[in-house]
């Protein structure tokens, strides 16, 4: 009786098209109009997208990319120009700095780090808002960081599925 062997899964270098498509999807998810009851807990999909790529491929996607996407978010939200760019680039800096350590953790252990990074980004946006005279907010302002951390374990599996290919008979 022979054991059935499946072809090994190989993670190939990510094409720029996949990263760009993921960014567009994350932007759309952030900008979708939602019910007022769901909106306060909607995770920042763009921040999760940035974290994933900064952890998985920091040489292809890093602080500069996070800065540019942050500027896009500032324009999309109509917020103070540069506040999301500052928050996302600071978050990306920490993620890139810790990417080897984070890759060695399980997805749930990574989620504990992700919630801290998301809280950092939200705190920076809040600090800029408060410095410019925006009204104060309650603790519910930080709920999206926790919902994003709960979503984290599923996101890498989704992105990794886009990057996986099985070798063909010609390449074996």
Here the tokens at position 107 are 């997805």
The residue ranking higher by pLDDT, 98 or 13, is 98
In a domain, 140, yes or no: yes
In a domain, 1, yes or no: no
Report pLDDT for 11. 54
Report pLDDT for 122. 95
In tens, the pLDDT along 54-67 reads 998 898 889 999 99
What is the average per-residue pLDDT within 68-95? 95
DSSP symbols for 3-48: PPPPPPPEEPPPPHHHHHHHHHHHHHHHHS---TTTGGG---HHHH
Q: Domain residues for 63?
A: 41-158
Percent of the chain with pLDDT over 70: 85
Work out the mean pLDDT of the chain and round it to a whole number.
Answer: 86
Percent of the chain with pLDDT over 90: 59
In a domain, 7, yes or no: no
In a domain, 81, yes or no: yes
- Decide if 111 contacts 152 (C-beta within 8 A): yes
In a domain, 30, yes or no: no
- Decide if 51 contacts 114 (C-beta within 8 A): yes
In a domain, 165, yes or no: no
In a domain, 18, yes or no: no
* Overall domain count for the chain: 1
- Decide if 54 contacts 61 (C-beta within 8 A): yes
Report pLDDT for 172. 46
Q: What CA–CA distances, in Å, run from 1 to 4, 6, 15, 92?
A: 9, 16, 41, 51
27: pLDDT strictly greater than 90: yes
In a domain, 16, yes or no: no
What is the average per-residue pLDDT within 84-94? 97
Lowest-confidence segment of 31-40, 63-72, 133-142 by average pLDDT = 133-142
What is the average per-residue pLDDT within 152-160? 85
């Amino acid at each position: 009786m022979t054991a059935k062997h499946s072809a090994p899964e190989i993670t190939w270098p990510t094409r720029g098209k996949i990263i760009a498509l993921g960014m567009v999807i994350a932007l759309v998810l952030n900008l979708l109009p939602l019910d007022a009851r769901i909106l306060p807990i909607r995770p920042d999909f763009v921040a999760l997208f940035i974290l994933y790529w900064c952890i998985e491929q920091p040489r292809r996607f890093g602080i500069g990319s996070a800065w540019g996407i942050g500027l896009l978010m500032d324009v999309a939200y109509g917020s103070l120009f540069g506040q999301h760019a500052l928050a996302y680039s600071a978050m990306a800096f920490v993620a890139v700095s810790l990417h080897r350590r984070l890759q060695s953790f399980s997805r749930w252990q990574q989620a504990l780090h992700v919630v801290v990074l998301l809280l950092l980004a939200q705190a920076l946006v809040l600090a800029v808002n408060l410095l410019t005279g925006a009204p104060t907010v309650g603790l519910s302002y930080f709920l999206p960081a926790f919902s994003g951390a709960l979503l984290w374990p599923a996101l890498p599996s989704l992105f990794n599925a886009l990057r996986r290919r099985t070798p063909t008979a010609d390449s074996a």
